[in-house]
Amino acid sequence: MNNHNSGRKHYLDNIRWITVVLVVIYHVLYMYNGQGIPGVLGKITDHEVQYWDLYQYAVYPWFMFLLFIVSGISSRLYLNSHSEKEFIKSRTNKLLVPSTIGLLAFQFIQGYFNAALSTDAKAMLPSLPFIGAYLILALSGTGVLWYIQVLWLFSLLLVPVKKIEKDRLWTLGGKTGIIAILFMTALVFGGAQVLNTPIICVYRFGYYGVAFFLGYFVFSHDEVIEVLKKWFLAFLAVAVILGFAFCFKYFGENYADAPVNRYLLFTSFGWFASMAFLGGAAKYLDFTNAFAGFMSRHSFGLYIFHYLGISMIAVLIGARHILPAALVYLLSLISAFATSYILYELISRIPFFRWAVLGIKKEK
């Protein structure tokens, strides 16, 4: 086991893969949720209330918010040793290419399974010419790639912002103390109210933009991370209380869309849970070992491909009601990991596709 003395912030790597695992579990439950959220198979049990769906409410306000904070921190660390031109080139290859060219090269397969879960899509696609149906399936395959699309946009915006502020704002961010962190709750709430796209509710440029830029300007400072470590238990206690309150108040409502995702309880829970996780990880998870290293190396592939594994089980097995619901859930979880790791190992070895789907350029 190696500790932080190597210079690498291993806790950031661990946050990434742990959060991606939480996302996988979330999407398994989301696929069969009993809340009536569209775009998925929906409930496959006879239970009037699926109390395990509470997990979705317990993680949704903060786990992607936390990933954007980590992405902001990582952007600063990368720019400490690379030029802005290298930064944009790297982010374009890793983020923009898989979420655009990757749609045409591979993710249309995900689009097919998404369409299979939509009655309207199944009725419409057969009437379209091949190229029209293909393009719709490719666009429908965006799915979880929304995160890297938004992250690329934030990375692009960061460069001119960095040129303008000339590290003055970043230097000020290093002076952030516990009082300022508490008052940032208001900033997060304000961000949640603006730049939200209609219909596709995951594109929340205000909410996630606050996370990314706070990660860059504030939490990339070791001094601020020390504050989070010192106050970890307090942040955790507040996050637990707010989490219970959020789940109790809004269970049964659509937590992912307006108005719930813009309420103060949603954003406050998201903020304190993120601070608790970030501080706790810096305090207790700043190490690596064989397992953590494997999970970290494969976390991007797991994120990119896991929903396809879940969707295949939902369409081919879950929708046919040929197995007990508990077994469908389990198969979906297994398929998410197995499909991701198999596809990652295969596609990462195939020229062009490794670049188009995973953003991996051949080393010179």
- Cα 129 from Cα 224, distance rounded (Å): 56
DSSP assignment letter at 2: E
Q: What are phi and psi of 196, to 5 degrees?
A: -100, 125
Cβ neighbours for 152, distance < 8 A, ≥ 6 positions apart: 91, 92, 95, 96, 99
| 362 domain-assigned | no
Residue 332 in any domain: the answer is yes
CB atoms within 10 A of CB 314: 25
Residue 331 inside a domain? The answer is yes
Residue 140 lies in a domain: yes
The one-digit pLDDT tens for each residue of the chain (364 residues) are 444 444 789 999 999 999 999 999 999 999 999 987 878 999 999 999 999 999 999 999 999 999 999 999 999 999 999 999 999 999 999 999 999 999 999 999 999 999 998 876 766 888 889 899 999 999 999 999 999 999 999 999 999 999 999 999 999 999 999 999 999 999 999 999 999 998 888 999 999 999 999 999 999 999 999 999 999 999 999 999 999 999 999 999 999 999 999 999 999 999 999 999 999 999 999 999 999 999 999 999 999 999 999 999 999 999 999 999 999 999 999 999 999 999 999 999 999 999 999 999 876 4
Omega into 61 within 30° of 0, i.e. cis? no
User: What DSSP state is assigned to residue 196?
Assistant: B
Question: What is the domain count for the chain?
Answer: 1
Range of the domain at 273: 2-357
Positive or negative, the Cα torsion across 162, 164, 170, 173? negative
In a domain, 364, yes or no: no
**163 is a domain residue:** yes
Residue 363 located in a structural domain:
no
Domain membership of residue 258 (yes or no) is: yes
